[in-house]
Structures are given as structure tokens and as C-alpha cells.
Amino acid sequence: MTRDQRIDQLIDISILVNEFTPEWPGDTPFSCQWTWEMARGEAVNVSCINSSPHVGTHADAPFHVDPRWPTSEALPLEAFSGPVTVVDVANHHGALVIESLGDLATRPVERLLLRTGRTVADGPFPEGWPWLDEATAQELVDRGLRLLGVDAPSVDARDSRTLAVHRILFKGGASILENLDLRAAPPGDYHLTAFPLRLGGLDAAPVRAVLRSLPSA
């Protein structure tokens, strides 16, 4: 093994959040004001932000879809760190069946990231994106899925009102990442680190998500 083969490559799969980052239509956009500014003679610059936790890359909490379920501070750290597989489904439209996932149709996976090609990192909020159908989501959970991540704004269809995929995943003990930026992450296996901020009582928490490429053999 050469020295270059031993070097891990880190891929930031988080969306840059600023005033231009698209929010879900009707949600609270990101904004920033300044409490103190050195330009006004203060000793330091101190900012103040206002935003929905769903703007940019984030982890949904079960409370997002059911007020009886846990809020953001209870998100399990173990789900957000470990082996992960990136699967490209950008050529698909509508609901994804298990066969849409390639060889994952026949083997278990702990963490799965779907590269739909409909990320808000490209600019505008997408009109739609592919999503797992309910039977596929349930099958993955039954096989031991601990986390599903997508580069789209939701693991459910844009026009979903029942959020069935959210509910299947949460009922099965799996976690959810949304609004990833997987443009620099080719399909394959990686190590994921994507810990949610320890914010209490919320329906979601911002995340800095990073993939580490696995060393070459």
C-alpha cells in the first residue's frame, strides 16, 4: 500500500447555509443580523441567526411527524456515524422499488444515502424527486437499516401529506438525513460522520455531514 492509498479523502456533503439557501416553501428562511459590529465601534462581531432547522442539511426528529415521539436532543448518535453506501438514483422518477437500489436489493445495509440529483445546493427548490415506496422502506428497515439520507429536501414525495416513509423509518428505529449535497460523492461505500447539533425540543437539528473515503486495498 502506498502513502497516497493510505490517505483518507474527506467529502463535505453538507449544504452551505446563507440567505440564498432555499427553504421548503412556506417555511422560515435563513437570515442573519448583527448584535455587535466592529464597524460600529464594538470590540467584536457577534451575529444572530433566525432559521427553520430544516434549512440546509439536517436530521429530522421523530417529533416532526408525531407529537408523541422524541424531539431533537434524543436523536441517537450511533445512527449518524459508521459505514454508509451511496446509491445513485438520479435517473429515476417517482417511487423507488427495491430493485432500483442495485445490489442492495439482495443484501442488507445499515446506512443508505440516495443521490437523487435534486439537491437545493444546485440553487432552486426542486419540483420533485424520487423517493422510496412504502414497501421498500419497510423492507430496508426489516433488514436492519439504521439511517436513510437523501440529497433531496425530504425522504417522502414533495406532495406527501401522510409522510409515510418518515413514519416507517421512525417506527423501525431508523434515523433520517435530508438536504445533503452528494454531487462530489460517487456511488460506493464510505464512512459517514453526521452528528446533529444538541438542540433541545425541536423537530429537527442542523448537521455537518462528512464522508470519508475508504482506503484503497
5: left (phi over 0), alpha (psi -120 to 50) or beta: alpha
**Residues recognised as catalytic:** 64
Please tell me the least confidently modeled range out of 4-13, 75-84, 93-102, 179-188. 4-13
Alpha-carbon span 11 to 165, nearest angstrom: 27
Q: What is the pLDDT of residue 34?
A: 98
Angle, helix 134-142 to helix 164-171, in steps of 10 degrees = 10
Strand pairing class (10-12; 31-36): unpaired
Give 217 or 82, the one with higher predicted confidence. 82
Q: Degrees (nearest 5) of the Cα angle 205, 159, 186? A: 60
- Stated pTM of the model: 0.94
What CATH number has the domain spanning 3-16+53-213?
3.50.30.50
List the chain domain ranges. 3-16+53-213
Q: What is the pLDDT of residue 215?
A: 78
Question: Does 204 score more than 60 pLDDT?
Answer: yes
CB 55, CB 23: distance < 8 Å? yes
Residue with the three cell numbers 438520479: 90
Report the SS3 class of residue 9: coil
Question: Does 1 score more than 70 pLDDT?
Answer: no
Question: Does 2 score more than 50 pLDDT?
Answer: no
The span from the first CA to the last CA of the chain, in angstroms, equals 7
CB 182, CB 30: distance < 8 Å? no
Question: Does 25 score more than 70 pLDDT?
Answer: yes
Q: What is the pLDDT of residue 122?
A: 87
Return the C-alpha cell found at 19. Answer: 440567505
Per residue, the 3-state secondary structure of 46-81, as one string, reads EEEEECCCCCCCEEECHHHCCCCCCCHHHCCHHHHE
The arithmetic mean of pLDDT across residues 39-63, rounded, is 98
Mean pLDDT, the chain, integer: 95
